């Protein structure tokens, strides 16, 4: 199997005309776990491999108000070499961004017009760019009117500061509500939903995935390896983060499934992490799973998933091990 695909199979993000790589480079580790130099090297390797879809968030870096990870991306873009032009850049807004000790009732977990516009402008400064390709709401805020949120996003779009909008951690009915309001306003529609989705957690198959399909959203799964649980954890359970008490409890709770899973992957002849990513890519609603490497090796080890084809027999065996919610609602719970 090739390390890098010879021809990257770029995909449309939902029904939009925006084309992105079938893997999305998640940057959450940049700063907390990867040094700036390591982060730069990973991003350079990504572009070299054809992975040009990068995902970040204003809150990443986890230092109140600092936007550590966005700032690392900004300094990487500032090196030139057409790095910004080659990258499809996604970031997010929702979480608090004030520094410690600053009490601002409009900077808690919410999405009002004041916060959206202010935080977008601050993200642009940190990212050292004039525009964001995909601006995502990091979570749903049901206390703020949908038309106010869309108005703020439309304002940023008219100003040329954002190109497309997406959601993250939305329920199926939230996706429907936003897109129906957008139709009514004749305004920007969601083109993507970023949600937790992996073999251990298939809950979104009941309603979120059907909503994405109906409204033409591309799905961007986060945590595709369930925090490492699907990455061959039984063989490596005493290494790194796998040795943590929390992970050990998860392993014990899922030991039977994991044993069957890792046995199946050995039969397929591929590492469990690649099979888990390939399983996601077989879903036509999925555009690009997010991989969050801490090292270049972790990045390059993920690339062969793009080419990995799983047989119907293998997909059936995977469903037997991780059955999910039983299909789409309401047929998964009613006649």
Q: Measured between alpha carbons, how far is residue 142 from residues 178, 181, 217 in Å?
A: 11, 14, 20
* Selected catalytic residue, list 10, 60, 94, 131: 60
Instruction: Give residue 200's pLDDT.
Output: 97
320 is a domain residue:
no
CB atoms within 10 A of CB 82: 9
User: Mind listing the pLDDT tens digit for each residue in 286-326?
Assistant: 999 999 999 999 999 999 999 999 999 999 999 999 999 99
User: Mind listing the pLDDT tens digit for each residue in 142-164?
Assistant: 999 999 999 999 999 999 999 99
DSSP string computed for 258-325: HHHHHHHHHHHTS-HHHHHHHHHHTSTTB--PEE--SSHHHHHHHGGGGTPPPPHHHHHHHHHHS-TT
- Structural domain including 73 reads 11-227+273-311
Distance CA 179, CA 215 (A): 7
Give the model's confidence band at 2: pLDDT under 50 very low, under 70 low, under 90 confident, else very high.
very low
92 is a domain residue:
yes
- Which is more confidently placed, 142 or 242? 142
Do residues 230 and 241 touch, judged by C-beta distance below 8 A? no
60 part of the active site: yes
Q: Measured between alpha carbons, how far is residue 91 from residues 86, 131, 166, 168, 324 in Å?
A: 16, 11, 10, 11, 29
319 is a domain residue:
no
237 is a domain residue:
no
- Region 200-223: mean pLDDT is 98
pTM equals: 0.94
279 is a domain residue:
yes
202 is a domain residue:
yes
Residue 218 pLDDT more than 50? yes
Domain count of the fold of the chain:
1
179 is a domain residue:
yes
* CATH number reported for the structural domain that contains residue 134 in this entry: 3.20.20.100
- Region 137-144: mean pLDDT is 97
28 is a domain residue:
yes
Do residues 25 and 54 touch, judged by C-beta distance below 8 A? yes
User: Mind listing the pLDDT tens digit for each residue in 86-95?
Assistant: 999 999 999 9
Instruction: Give residue 235's pLDDT.
Output: 81
Residue 53 pLDDT more than 90? yes
């Amino acid at each position: 199997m090739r390390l890098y695909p010879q021809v990257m199979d770029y995909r449309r993000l939902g029904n939009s005309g925006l084309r992105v790589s079938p893997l999305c480079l998640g940057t959450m580790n940049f700063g907390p776990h990867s040094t700036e130099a390591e982060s730069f090297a990973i991003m350079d390797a990504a572009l070299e491999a054809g992975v040009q879809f990068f995902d970040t968030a204003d809150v990443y870096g986890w230092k109140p108000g600092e936007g550590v990870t966005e700032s690392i991306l900004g300094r990487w873009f500032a090196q030139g070499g057409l790095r910004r032009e080659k990258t499809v850049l996604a970031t997010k807004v929702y979480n608090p961004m004030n520094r410690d000790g600053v009490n601002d009732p409009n900077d808690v977990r919410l999405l009002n017009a004041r916060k959206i516009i202010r935080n977008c402008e601050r993200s642009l400064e940190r990212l050292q760019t004039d525009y964001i390709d995909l601006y995502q709401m990091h979570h749903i805020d049901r206390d703020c009117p949908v038309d106010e949120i869309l108005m703020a996003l439309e304002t940023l779009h008219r100003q040329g500061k954002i190109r497309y909008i997406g959601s993250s951690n939305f329920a199926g009915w939230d996706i429907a509500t936003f897109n129906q309001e957008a139709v009514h306003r004749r305004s920007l529609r969601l083109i993507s939903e970023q949600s937790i989705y992996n073999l251990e957690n298939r809950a979104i198959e009941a309603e979120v995935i059907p909503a994405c399909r109906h409204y033409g959203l591309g799905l961007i799964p986060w945590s595709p390896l369930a925090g490492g649980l699907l990455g061959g954890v039984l063989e490596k359970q005493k290494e790194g983060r796998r040795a943590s008490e929390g992970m050990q409890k998860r392993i014990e709770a899922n030991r039977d499934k994991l044993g069957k899973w890792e046995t199946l992957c050995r039969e397929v002849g591929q590492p469990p992490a690649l099979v888990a990513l390939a399983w996601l890519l077989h879903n036509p609603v999925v555009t690009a799973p997010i991989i969050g490497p801490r090292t270049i090796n972790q990045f390059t080890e993920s690339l062969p998933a793009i080419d990995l084809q799983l047989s119907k027999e293998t997909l059936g065996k995977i469903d037997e091990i991780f059955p999910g919610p039983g299909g789409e609602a309401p047929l998964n719970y009613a006649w």
